[in-house]
Structure 1
Amino acid sequence: MGEDLLKQWNPFDIFDTEAARLDGFFSGLAEGDEEWQRPSRCAGWSVRDVLAHLAGEELYNHACLDGNVQDLLARLAREGVNGFHDFNEWSVRQRRALPVGQVLDEWRTQNGETRARMRALGRDALIDTMAGPYPVGWQTFHYDSEYATHADDVGAPVADAEADGRTLWRVAVGRFVLAEQESKAQVEQTADEIWVCADGVTTTLSYPEFVAATVGRLGPGHELDPRVAAALRCLA
């Protein structure tokens, strides 16, 4: 049932589109532009930090493709880096003193290789992950969601013509991951909203609100019951 949600979308095309969106945004900022220091929507990170995170994450992405995730985790543990949160913060710290152009080139090159290799493998092949062998297509959808989330975090523009389609695939990915994780949230999609029940609390969300809930970006002013918000958060 869960995988049927994703059948109509090509994860590799989406990955290319979201990477291009981020690249276009970052490339439009000059080296000393104050915009790099602007706080992003990702708590605690500036726009520059988001780029550094994306660049650093390629270390893990390539380990997945190379089949040596456990070796990478062991090496990071020896350096005092444990878990994804530590890894993300460590990746950002490692690049804060580097010229931003160098970080951009690093990310662009390494991510280009990741996207090409995953597309070449195809969606049904398996790659190594922290959770063990996992289908390439599903892993790519996880990356798609992360890239779309971070594009929104830094304010990369989305054309009106693509906004609705982009929201629809993100709804599908959110529903897929909730099912994959056996979330306690019951979710039903109608023509224009999402009905959710969690811990005895029921509510309806617009598609964009549901996407924001799955990635923890509803914002402090949103009135969604905390129990429902916690049950829906399943992605970046």
Structure 2
Amino acid sequence: MDEPDLAGLDPFDLMAEEARQIEAFYAALPPDGWRAPTRCAGWDRRALLAHLAAVEDYTRAGLRGEVQQLIRAAGGGSLDDLNAWGVAQRDTLPHADLLAAWRDLVASNDAALRSRATETMDTTVGQYPVWRQAFYLASERAIHADDADVPVPESRVSHRLDWRLRFARVAVTENAQPGQVSVVADRGAQVVRLVEEECRLPDEQFVAAVSGRLPPEVDIPPRIRDALAVLV
């Protein structure tokens, strides 16, 4: 938990805040609102919430040391296969029941994660610090909240961008090959270098790039775009 770039941030609080916003949004949706498209190709809002519930299945399996068992239950394929399986498992649930099931999983998992903050948990890459995994889970909720057009209160916009930006830099560094990618803050933007290539992205675009959501019309070197997309 000694991570200077993340000092002063509580990932469990961040997870909880994103969950509250998602729950309030979905609870107020009219029936046709559940079928509205999202930024995730092929997923409407209902499928997106089913995916978020499937993420909670993965988290619960990680806390129990049963990630590989879950992957085998889903057919033993890739994470994409696991995602598709998790959505399909909830295909027949009424909207209200899907929201309630997701909410119950969130409550149980979030409490367990917080209680084990200094421990490790099972993941697809092996044992991983719970505290750091909580940042990935908070980011997952934030990304998909944006995908579904969950509104962000004005009072949260600045802080939300700050923590997502700070963790995005950490995630890029963690997932890159040693010395391959560097990110330097520069007056409301991030300067990204990859070997001989470089680009400068405003903070919001950097977060979008790391989330795999940078619009195609933003002109950056393809190799940098690929290297940044680590929270997808």
Q: TM-score, normalised by structure 1?
A: 0.92
Give the counterpart of 2:126 among 121, 125, 132: 132
Distance of 1:142 and 1:196 partners within structure 2 = 21
Q: Look up the match of 1:18.
A: 18
Distance of 2:150 and 2:115 partners within structure 1 = 28
The C-alpha deviation readout for 1:148-204, integer Å capped at 9, x for no partner, is 000100011111221111111111111111111134322111231100112422111
The one-letter code matched in structure 1 to 2:49 is L
Distance of 1:220 and 1:190 partners within structure 2 = 23
Distance of 2:15 and 2:120 partners within structure 1 = 18
- Alignment coverage as a number of residue pairs: 229
Runs of 4 or more above 6 Å deviation: none
Residue 104 (structure 2) pairs with residue 104 (structure 1): no
The one-letter code matched in structure 1 to 2:96 is G
Distance of 2:157 and 2:151 partners within structure 1 = 10
Tell whether the 8 Å contact from 2:122 to 2:128 is kept in structure 1 after alignment: yes
Distance of 1:149 and 1:27 partners within structure 2 = 19
Q: Identity, % of aligned pairs?
A: 36
Residue 139 (structure 2) pairs with residue 145 (structure 1): yes
Structure-2 change in CA distance of 1:81 and 1:26 (3 Å): farther
Unaligned runs of at least 5 residues, structure 2: none
Tell whether the 8 Å contact from 1:29 to 1:35 is kept in structure 2 after alignment: yes
Distance of 1:6 and 1:83 partners within structure 2 = 30
Q: Look up the match of 1:231.
A: 227
Tell whether the 8 Å contact from 1:127 to 1:133 is kept in structure 2 after alignment: yes
The C-alpha deviation readout for 1:31-50, integer Å capped at 9, x for no partner, is xx211111101122111110
Q: Look up the match of 1:84.
A: 79
Q: Look up the match of 1:6.
A: 6
The C-alpha deviation readout for 1:66-112, integer Å capped at 9, x for no partner, is 12222222333xxx341210011111122222211111111000111
The one-letter code matched in structure 2 to 1:137 is W
- SS of 2:126 mapped into structure 1: coil
Distance of 2:137 and 2:17 partners within structure 1 = 12
The C-alpha deviation readout for 1:109-130, integer Å capped at 9, x for no partner, is 01110111111112x2111111
The CA RMSD over aligned residues, in Å, is 1.5
Unaligned runs of at least 5 residues, structure 1: none
Distance of 1:178 and 1:84 partners within structure 2 = 20
- SS of 1:127 mapped into structure 2: strand
Distance of 2:26 and 2:168 partners within structure 1 = 26
Q: Look up the match of 1:193.
A: 189
- SS of 1:95 mapped into structure 2: coil
- SS of 1:49 mapped into structure 2: helix
The one-letter code matched in structure 1 to 2:142 is A
Distance of 1:135 and 1:7 partners within structure 2 = 16
Give the counterpart of 2:69 among 62, 71, 74: 71
How do 1:155-174 and structure 2 match up within 5 A? 155-174=149-168
Tell whether the 8 Å contact from 1:215 to 1:234 is kept in structure 2 after alignment: yes
* Greater CA drift, 198-207 or 82-91: 198-207
The one-letter code matched in structure 1 to 2:130 is V
* Greater CA drift, 87-96 or 107-116: 87-96
